[in-house]
Amino acid sequence: MKLNLLVMLMLLHPISVYAEDIWLIVGASDPTPTGIAHKWKVLGNDSGIVVKSSDCGDSKDVFAWVPKLATSIERARSSLRAVKRSVQDAYVKKCRVQPRSLLAFRETAVDISIADIPATAVNWEDADRVTTVQPLKNSWHIVISRYYEGDLEDPLEGRRERVILVGEGGERHSLEQCVEPGMFATDEGMLAFQCTVAQAGDEVLHNVVVYTMGGQKTKEVMHCRNPAFRGKRTIICESEVVGADGVLKLQKVKRNF
Amino acid sequence: MVHLVDSVGENGKNHALDVLRVQSLLRSKGYRIPPGGGICGNDTLTAINQFQASFLPQPTGLIEPYSLSLLKLTDDIHVDYEWSGDSSKWSQEQKLKSLNTEFKFKVVALLSKLQESGFLPFIFYGWRSVAVQSILYSSGRSQVKFSFHNAQREDGTPNSYAADIIDSRFGWTHQAETSGFWSALGSAANTHGLVWGGNWSSFRDVAHVQLLPNSLLYNVKQESGL
């Protein structure tokens, strides 16, 4: 009886929650995001993705550059032969893909542009070099893709983040470039979040943006944080004002969209 | 109390930044220590021992984090350290003094220009310590761990290449924009060859002016011994 109930519950869940077996053709590995980006750049023109070994359930977190992946061992062997023509040390690794991981969405954990960050950059942390994924309600996910947009005159030294909305069926909507995206809120086919946009003394200011789940931007509220939906066409957030004393004052505001 | 990562002095870990901080504190108490790039040499060891002899029967020659010696080096009774306290609350004179000399002349000229235009310019930040920057960064209130505000001389004293300038009536409120203060600041910064943070598109910092381009941040960090 219990088993039947379990099977029924599993059938009711979206397919993406299940582990999936695939075969990775590994071209190189490295414990650091910088290291794997450099190896990828040297070995692999633009092809493939970087996989975090934890996305295959490994306890150690190592990055692997995977020029090809296959859904069967036969295809993996065939791909390996092709890859070995340019990367002699390549090998096949079987992977049980962790549901809701970057690999489950076939998103690279490290962007190849990370290899281009100059050694003289001082404000890059390892966390700034790695793409992450987080769940929303109803099996939707947000991928925050982190990359380098080459310009050391930039106050962020070229640190960039892009918000990608991934739907239940795996469909993707690239939303916008956003510094430190956060405070994601969803309601009835709508998504809101905040981006950090400016410095004001000891505080940072944000903008709140509202999107449809189809990836269409419908509202932007300047200098506001902590968005939440109130009803079908209304959002509330806290407006931000910093006075000459440097003190941040927050006030709840309501905006229609 | 000033934060030390580890011990400084006889058989101490002597991390360069810690040594610079202790040397700076000892100098503020009248001990003469020549600049040494964060090296704990004989002059520093002698000064530590002499200082400890004023309150310890047997000086250890070692200043450790959170120790009595460090407390006595930094508390109000034992030291009048010019560069302590919240640097956003310093007087305008001290904030100007915390700037790099070349930069300071340009900021003084910029402030005069803004005053002539009817504004009430006010330096909100000149220099701020790496420790304060680190707190701002880890609490999500700054996007950078090191900035031109944190630059310091070899002896650990302030040498900021950046300043945040507001109108004392408006701060960062909407009035600063509508009164034309930000555009006047940007224009004055441009006249004096300074970089203005209002021109940055990826992350605006409208009150911020700096002497050097962002690409020289690495050099300034090195020059600061950090």
Q: What is the pLDDT along chain A (257 residues), one digit of tens a residue?
A: 444 443 443 444 344 456 799 999 999 999 999 999 999 999 976 789 999 999 999 998 899 999 999 999 999 999 999 999 999 999 999 999 999 999 999 999 999 999 999 999 999 999 999 999 999 987 899 999 999 998 879 999 999 999 999 998 889 999 999 999 999 999 989 999 999 999 999 999 999 999 999 999 999 999 999 999 998 899 999 999 999 999 999 999 999 99
Span B163-168, average pLDDT: 98
CB pairs under 8 A between A and B: 101
Cβ–Cβ below 8 Å for B140 and A204: yes
Report the sign of the C-alpha dihedral through residues B78, B82, B83, B84, in that order: positive
Tell me the backbone φ, ψ of residue B4, rounded to 5 degrees. Answer: -115, 140
ipTM for the assembly: 0.87
Cα-Cα-Cα-Cα dihedral sign, residues B92, B94, B99, B103: positive
- Whole-prediction pTM: 0.81
Helices and strands per DSSP (H, E), number in chain B: 9, 6
Residue A236: partners with Cβ closer than 8 Å, 6 or more residues away: A227, A228, A229, A230, A252, A253, A254, A255
User: Environment class of residue B40 by beta-carbon count within 10 Å: exposed (0-12), middle (13-18) or buried (19+)?
Assistant: buried
* Test the B interface: residue of A117, A123, A183, A194 with most B CBs within 10 Å: A123
What are B's interface residues with A at a Cβ cutoff of 8 A? 88, 122, 124-125, 136, 140-146, 164, 166-174, 197, 200, 202-208, 213-215, 217-218, 221
Inspect the interface and report whether the beta carbons of B146 and A123 lie closer than 8 Å. yes
Q: Does the pLDDT of residue B215 top 50, yes or no?
A: yes
Token pair for B9: 């002095």
Helices assigned H by DSSP within chain B: 16-28, 42-53, 68-74, 92-97, 101-116, 130-138, 174-178, 181-191, 217-223
List the end-to-end C-alpha distance of chain B, in Å, as a whole number: 20
Cα separation of A115 and B44, whole Å? Answer: 43
Q: Which CATH class is domain B87-224?
A: alpha beta
Q: Are residues A103 and A50 in contact, defined by beta-carbon separation less than 8 angstroms?
A: no
Residues of A in contact with B144 (CB under 8 A): 123, 155-156
Answer for the pair A140, A163: CB distance below 8 angstroms, yes or no. no
> pLDDT tens, B62-101?
999 889 898 888 765 544 467 777 889 899 999 999 999 9
Which part of chain B has CATH 3.30.1380.10? 87-224
